[in-house]
Structure 1
Amino acid sequence: MLAVKTYNNDQNIFRREMRLMGNRFEISVVGNDSVWADNCVDAAVAEINRVEKLLSTFSDDSRINEINRNAGVKPVKVNAEIFRLVERALKISELTFGTFDITYNAIDRNVEPSKIERKSVKFTNYKNVHIDEAKTTVFLTEKGMRIGFGGLSKGYAADRAKYILQLMGVSSGVINAGGDLLTWGLQPDHTPWTIASADPDRESQPFSNINISNMAVATSGNFEKNVTISNKKYMHNVDAKKGFPISVLKSVSIVSPTAELSDAMATPVMTMGVNAGLYLINQLQQLACVIIDDHDRVYTSKEVNYLS
């Protein structure tokens, strides 16, 4: 069912909340026809479900599983969509010096992280993913290697849903994908979509309003995603090269033109730390970031001044 927020100019925000891809999604579209809005949201949900199935590592007939099963054996031919996703993921890995990596080695998740041996993560190396554009094939060169798109699938699904909504004539809307936001167009009162960025410990005290119209923002944080193993708390983010939990930063928010890119870049910057993370983001066009460390100090990239 759609929730409706009405404005004086006859434009409404139609909003639906649901659980997709294991996350809370909320899709909002601006318009004046509830039936049309409902159909648009249905189409967006269908597209998100399609992307989830496409990138699944649980379905036996998925192409991603086919790639993983043939690790160290042979290249696997994939469709253009999967090929481009892998290609973009490898470029982000190069950009972040391997901090972002879609490769992994299956390990026992019940094993305490401090006891994970280096050999259990030795196959985490994007350089061992070989792609052939002419043949549209993907080959994992080492047996035991696997790939997964958990680091960007949510963002990619949001981008695809936005594309479908725009095809259906939605000129303005917001997709909230588990807390990551993708927006386009303007609000019904013709003002930009904005977010108030705040310290997670002082959520009622924003330090900056950031214009995110036609942009996407994704946040990676140690303040809410953690697990407890043997009465010890371990943070959500793990350094792929070292195989143990990272700390120092409390949260990183990345603003970029696409949800896929924001989603993919948030955790690497979290891993890289303040200086290296800011240096990287400041070298890139159309990217901005807000970083909060574990002493509640706030750092922003140079682009935040232009987005605020």
Structure 2
Amino acid sequence: MNVSYKYGLLVFVPLFITLTLGCSKTPTYSRTEFVMGTSVVISVFDSDKSKQTIKAAVDAAFEEIKRVDTLMSNYKDNSEVSEINRLKGGERIKVSDETMEVLRRSREISALTKGAFDITVLPLLELWGFYGDSNTDRRPADKEIRAVLKSVGYKKLKLGGGNSVIKSKDGVKIILGGIAKGYAVDRAVRILKSRGIKSVLVEAGGDLICAGVKPDKNLWKIAIRHPRVKHKPIAILETEGCAIATSGDYENYHIVEGKRCSHIIDPRRGYPRGDLPASVTVIAKDVATADGLATAVFVLGPVEGMKFVENTPDIEAIIISDEAGEIKTVVSSGLKERIIFPRN
């Protein structure tokens, strides 16, 4: 997390988006911790509470994020996700209410997007070298992709009563990275609000909530990062508060056969799409939803993705494409009056 103070602005530069508060007032209390594989920043602006009260609330919020990570991490052997991935076909396991909630919401997003978002994509990520020790710039053979696709598909994971999870066949493995971080941010804000915090920002590697009234009573300003120029905003969103998530091709990619290959693989086909955006930012009712839909819209591509956004209630999006070096930005209809494009 790079923080700079300039001309009375407090500018955060996280993984995918830049957040500009646009006022001279700094947070009453702010803390950064590395959780869920990324920097998580909680900034509180309430001025009517003691530092001790705010610190206790932030402590509780971070503990909740860590608890979600303990349940849903692919990198913790004792997590419920790791236990699910060790199951054989036909075996079942009982999971916590929180993990089941994320699994059910993932399934809803998968159904809504016709499989463009799919938590069973992990075998494909391994094949393409985007997970674990399988880093590679080799393009998998078509027959390898066809073989792995037999273990991919959200309907291959059965969710039953009593929080039971059943695998339909061997080889099915899940990864919740496309939604669990957003879910953790949502829960952290819920904890903060329950402790009386009214004005807060929580950001975790491209997932963000700005909640409550900004200290100067003006709109929050969220600056969307330019996908090809680090630390440069390409657009600024003005909002009273929002849940937002960004997926981009610029932090995790390989160069395969001379072309940029994003870590976001189309789980329906087994390949990255040729017309993938450079970045997708989604605004939704909560960060978990925005997180999952940002991945889905990225997979759908600029044209189909924006059509999906315009036809789906309660979401908006900014899709940025790199067409042979020419950057193009498309904004959904509900955002057009809230977006500012800085002059170069």
Common fold: TM-score over 0.5: yes
Is 1:300 aligned with 2:300?
A: no
Aligned residue for 1:285, secondary structure, equals: coil
Q: Amino acid of the residue matched to residue 285 of structure 2?
A: P
Q: Quote the residue 2:168 is aligned against.
A: 141
- Tell me the equivalent position of 1:114: 140
Aligned residue runs from structure 1 range 1-20, under 5 A: 12-20=27-35
Residue 95 of structure 1: how far off its partner (Å) = 0.7
Q: Equivalent residue for 1:59?
A: 76
For residues 215-258 of structure 1, what are the alpha-carbon distances to aligned partners after superposition, in whole Å with 9 as ceiling and x for unaligned? Answer: 21111112333235799753222222232333431111101121
1:185-204 superposed matches below 5 A: 185-197=212-224, 199-201=226-228, 204=232
1:218 is aligned, of 245, 249, 253, to 245
The residue that corresponds to 2:316 in the other structure is 288
Q: How does 1:254-293 map to 2 (within 5 A)?
A: 254-293=282-321
Q: Specify the code of the residue in structure 2 equivalent to 1:303.
A: G
Output the CA distance in 1 between the equivalents of 2:232 and 2:75. Answer: 40
Aligned length: 303
Alignment check: 8 A CA contact 1:105 1:144 kept? no
Distance 1:57-1:10 versus aligned 2 partners, 3 A rule: closer
Q: Per-residue displacement from partner, 1:185-218 (whole Å, max 9, x unpaired)? A: 011111232213464346656444331x432111
Match of 2:117 among 87, 100, 105: 100
Paired-residue identity, %? 30
Give, in whole Å, the separation in 2 of the partners of 1:11 and 1:205: 21
User: Aligned AA for 1:287?
Assistant: I
Q: For 2:241, give the aligned amino acid.
A: N
Which residue identity does 1:174 align to in structure 2?
L
Q: SS where residue 294 of structure 1 aligns?
A: strand
Structure 2 residue runs without a partner (length 5+): 11-22, 128-133, 340-344
Q: Secondary structure at the match of 2:173?
A: strand
Offset at residue 145 of structure 1 (A)? 0.7
Q: Write out per-residue CA displacement over residues 127-165 of structure 1, whole angstroms, 9 at most, x where no aligned residue.
A: 1121123x3211110111112211111111111111111
What secondary structure sits across from 1:195 in the alignment? strand
CA contact (8 A) 1:180 1:219 kept: yes
Query: Is the CA contact 2:279–2:298 (under 8 Å) kept in the aligned structure 1?
Result: yes
2:204 counterpart residue number: 177
Residue ranges of structure 1 left out of the alignment (5+ in a row): none
Moved more, 200-209 or 270-279: 200-209
2:30 and 2:44 in contact (8 A); partners too: yes
| Contact 1:123-1:144 at 8 Å conserved across structures | yes
Looking at structure 2, the residues matched to 245 and 10 of structure 1 have their Cα atoms a distance apart, in angstroms, of 43
* CA deviation after TM superposition for structure 1 residue 284, in Å: 1.8
Instruction: State the Cα deviation string for residues 101-142 of structure 1 (Å, max 9, x = none).
Output: 011454452452333432123211001121123x32111101
TM-score by length of 2: 0.79
1:68-119 deviation per Cα after TM superposition (whole angstroms, max 9, x unaligned): 2223132222222222211110010011110100114544524523334321
Structure 1 counterpart of 2:177, from 144, 150, 169: 150
CA contact (8 A) 2:42 2:201 kept: yes
Change (3 A) 1:71 1:307: farther
Distance 2:234 2:271 in 1: 32
Q: What's the secondary structure of 1:97's corresponding residue?
A: coil
Secondary structure at the counterpart of residue 246 of structure 2: strand
2:265 to 238, 242, 262: 238
Q: Please state whether the residue corresponding to 1:31 is helix, strand or coil.
A: coil
Distance across 2 between alignment mates of 1:198 and 1:105: 27
In structure 1, the partner of 2:93 is 76
Cα distance in 1, alignment partners of residues 175 and 38 from structure 2: 17
One-letter code of the match for 1:187? K
CA spacing shift, 1:304–1:71, aligned 2, 3 Å: farther
Is 29-38 or 140-149 further displaced after alignment? 29-38
Computed over aligned residues only, the root mean square deviation of the Cα atoms, in angstroms, reads 2.8
